[in-house]
Structures are given as structure tokens and as C-alpha cells.
Amino acid sequence: MTKEIDLEDISTYVKALHCQIRWVIIDILGDGPMSSDDLFNHLKDASETMDDKNQCHGMCGKGDFKNLKKANLYYHLRELENVGIIKSDYKPSESKRAPEKVWKLNMEKLTINLK
């Protein structure tokens, strides 16, 4: 899906995309849907190759890969979901009673109309 936005909508997307961790989430989900647990583990693994300049020092204050907690991950996922970049779904879990939440990209392209 391609989403087109106008300049008056851009601030919403800038807010959602200002953290490096969110770009990494998008990159990981580009390979396909992933459960919250698997995504959390991928991000923790990614923290070993990141240096301090790739950490979020912005207003969210929750972009630290090295000290990432699941609550912080859900914060970032909700921000991306709120603007429609990703979406969640549930799939039956074989090892648990409750269905497992799975995240996936909701768009392939975001286009900004400058005129």
C-alpha cells in the first residue's frame, strides 16, 4: 500500500519517525510479520551493534536499545501503529492459551506531496 500525505500532515509522521529505534523496527518488519517477543529479541540483538549516536535522545526518551524494556517497545509500536505505518494482528499460539500479537508493515511507501 502506498500512502500519500500533504505538508499539513507531515508533522504527524515526523513525530512517529523521529526515533532511530522505530526505523529499525520498520526495517525488521520489512522482512515479514513478527511477534512482539521476536521483535524484542531482534532489537536487543541489534543493540550490540549500535553505538550511542544511534540512540534516541529526543522527546520520547525511550529509544535506548541497550536498556530496552518491553513496555518501551510497545510505546514505539503504538506510535507507529497510530499513524498507520504498522498494524497488529493476532495469531493462535501453540504454546500459550492466548493468541499471540503479530506486527507487520501496513504500507510499503509513504509519499509527501510538496505542492
pLDDT, one tens digit per residue, over 65-90 is: 677 888 899 999 999 999 999 999 98
Provide the residue range defining the domain that includes 53: 2-113
- For residue 110, pLDDT beyond 50: yes
Do the Cβ atoms of 57 and 18 come closer than 8 Å?
no
- For residue 62, pLDDT beyond 50: no
pTM: 0.80
* pLDDT of res. 49: 62
Do the Cβ atoms of 63 and 55 come closer than 8 Å?
yes
Quick one: average pLDDT of 91-103? 79
Do the Cβ atoms of 87 and 72 come closer than 8 Å?
no
Burial of 1-18, coded b for 16+ CB within 10 Å and e otherwise, reads: eebeeeeeeeeebeebbe
Domain count, the chain: 1
The CATH number of whichever domain residue 81 belongs to comes to 1.10.10.10
Could you list the beta-strand ranges (E) of 1-115: 2-6, 34-35, 86-91, 100-105, 109-113
